[in-house]
């Protein structure tokens, strides 16, 4: 007979029931109030003010596209209907105008893989990752590029999965990134069985599950058993990224704050590392320790027979406030990263923390359902846009240097 060990089993059962109840409640509310799609739309005038467009260009494009059967989003406005153009509508207008997409500019280069990493927990790795994944897709200045983004969640806590596809973030699921890596699935199987959409079309996620922690702890043995002849730290690149990379422009990897097999796979697969650096002294101290360990991790990969492809390690300040000691730490971070520090920061704002209550990113959070102050949400969205654009510009600089 199975022992309850002081109520552990009962607590686990109740916790699982509460998780599902919370998730079902939010899903039901979204469906009831029509909030199960990305809320943002654009008027024709707003689109006309975007880069490389004008009022005449937009009107002409819409007229020509409608004559060929394209149906644009519209909404009621009294007795008339006004255009309410979706992100995809705007992308299609750019395509009709023959504005080059990001994949045309970087033709033949494959997806750019980004790993937001720090061995210190609670430094905003996941918030940064999901903010960038959604933000790069819908930033007004970047819509012209039709950026397609994928998040690969390798953190058993499944926090990225919670933000991007909460239905797959609860309990044990088998369609995870870790399982896909070991099962050696082909591209079609990955697309049909593993990759899941998010609320923003054009941004996908491969989920994680709590059971992945057991997989990570036995990784070398499992790889030897299921993938004989494959190097343990090249599985992510070989079995997922190389197979579906042509579908995406940016691929983000999220792992837990542990130096384990998943982190080594992420480093081996990455083109760029982003290091969130909180200003609190204990967090900053831990970040410095991580940075001193990074060369050892790269050396470990080389000893395994893998040549890292990293083109830069860019630091940025996370959880920043206007406190004097935070500004002092920012100065110390500049001394460490020198030219490899991002101009923009990810500040500590109520909006970033509260959007998780509705399983949203700050980008996807609908003002109609956001549980906090509308002004706080607006401020956080503005900072997310600024951060996203700064990262994009730095990526282009790094790629241009190659």
Looking at 120-235, which runs of residues are DSSP E strands?
149-154, 196-197, 203-206
- Among the ranges given (6-20, 234-248, 321-335), the one the predictor scored with the smallest mean pLDDT: 6-20
| All residues at 6 or more sequence positions from 322 whose CB lies less than 8 Å from its CB, including other chains | none
Name the 3-class secondary structure at 182.
Answer: helix
Confidence at 147, pLDDT banded by 50, 70, 90: very high
> How many CA atoms within 13 Å lie on the side-chain side of 139?
24
Query: What does the alpha-carbon distance between residue 134 and residue 119 come to, in Å, rounded to a whole number?
Result: 24
Residue range 66-107, pLDDT digits in tens: 999 999 988 887 666 799 999 999 999 999 999 999 999 999
- Tens digit of pLDDT for each residue in 294-346? 999 999 999 999 999 999 999 999 999 988 999 999 999 999 999 999 999 99
Read off the pTM: 0.93
Q: Of 291, 287, 350, 342, which Cα lies nearest the Cα of 317?
A: 342
**Of the ranges 12-26, 38-52, 333-347, which one carries the lowest mean pLDDT score?**
12-26
Q: Average pLDDT, stretch 246-274?
A: 97
- Compute the distance between CA of residue 58 and CA of residue 42 in angstroms, rounded to an integer: 12
Across 214-239, average pLDDT = 96
Across 2-16, 84-98, 215-229, 305-319, least confident range? 2-16
Q: Which region among 28-32, 143-147, 246-250 has the lowest average model confidence (pLDDT)?
A: 28-32
Strand (E) or helix (H) holding 90: helix 87-96
Q: Are 373 and 350 in contact (CB under 8 A)?
A: yes
Instruction: Dump pLDDT digits (tens) for 157-190.
Output: 999 999 999 776 565 567 899 999 999 999 999 9
Q: Mean pLDDT for the chain? A: 92
Parse the chain into domains and list their residue ranges.
41-97, 102-400
Distance, CA of 393 to CA of 314 (rounded, Å)? 12
Two tokens, residue 202: 């054009």
pLDDT digits (tens, 9 = 90+) for 369-396: 888 899 999 999 999 999 999 999 999 9
Tell how far CA 63 is from the center of its chain. Answer: 35
């Amino acid at each position: 007979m199975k022992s309850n060990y002081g109520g552990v089993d009962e607590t686990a059962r109740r916790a699982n029931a509460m998780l599902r109840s919370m998730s079902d409640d939010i899903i039901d509310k979204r469906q009831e109030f029509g909030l199960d799609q990305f809320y943002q739309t654009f008027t024709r005038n707003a689109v006309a003010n975007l880069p490389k467009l004008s009022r005449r260009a937009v009107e002409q494009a819409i007229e020509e596209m409608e004559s060929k059967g394209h149906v644009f989003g519209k909404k009621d406005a009294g007795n008339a209907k006004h255009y309410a153009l979706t992100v995809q509508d705007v992308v299609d207008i750019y395509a009709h105008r023959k504005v080059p997409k990001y994949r045309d500019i970087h033709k033949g280069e494959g997806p750019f893989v980004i790993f937001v990493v720090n061995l210190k927990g609670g430094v905003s790795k996941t918030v940064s990752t999901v903010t960038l994944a959604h933000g790069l897709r819908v930033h007004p200045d970047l819509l012209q590029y039709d950026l397609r983004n994928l998040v690969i969640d390798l953190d058993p806590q499944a926090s990225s999965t919670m933000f991007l596809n909460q239905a797959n973030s609860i309990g044990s699921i088998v369609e995870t990134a870790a399982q896909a890596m070991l099962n050696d699935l082909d591209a079609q199987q990955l697309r049909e069985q593993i990759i899941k959409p998010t609320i923003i079309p054009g941004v996908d996620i491969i989920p994680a599950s709590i059971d992945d922690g057991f997989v990570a702890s036995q990784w070398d043995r499992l790889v030897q058993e299921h993938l004989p002849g494959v190097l343990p730290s090249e599985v992510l690149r070989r079995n997922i990224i190389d197979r579906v990379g042509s579908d995406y422009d940016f691929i983000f990897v999220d792992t837990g704050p542990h130096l384990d097999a998943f982190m080594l796979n992420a480093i081996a697969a990455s083109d760029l590392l982003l290091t969130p650096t909180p200003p609190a002294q204990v967090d900053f101290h831990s970040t410095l320790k991580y940075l001193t360990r990074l060369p050892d991790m790269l050396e470990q990969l080389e000893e395994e027979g893998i040549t890292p492809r990293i083109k830069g390690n860019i630091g940025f300040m996370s959880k920043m406030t206007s406190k004097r000691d935070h500004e002092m730490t920012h100065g110390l971070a500049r001394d460490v990263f020198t030219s490899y520090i991002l101009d923009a920061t990810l500040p500590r704002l109520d909006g970033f923390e509260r959007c998780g209550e509705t399983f949203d990113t700050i980008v996807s959070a609908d003002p109609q359902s956001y549980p906090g102050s509308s002004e706080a949400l607006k401020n956080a969205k503005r900072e997310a846009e600024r951060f996203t654009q700064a990262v994009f510009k730095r990526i282009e600089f790094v790629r241009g240097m190659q």
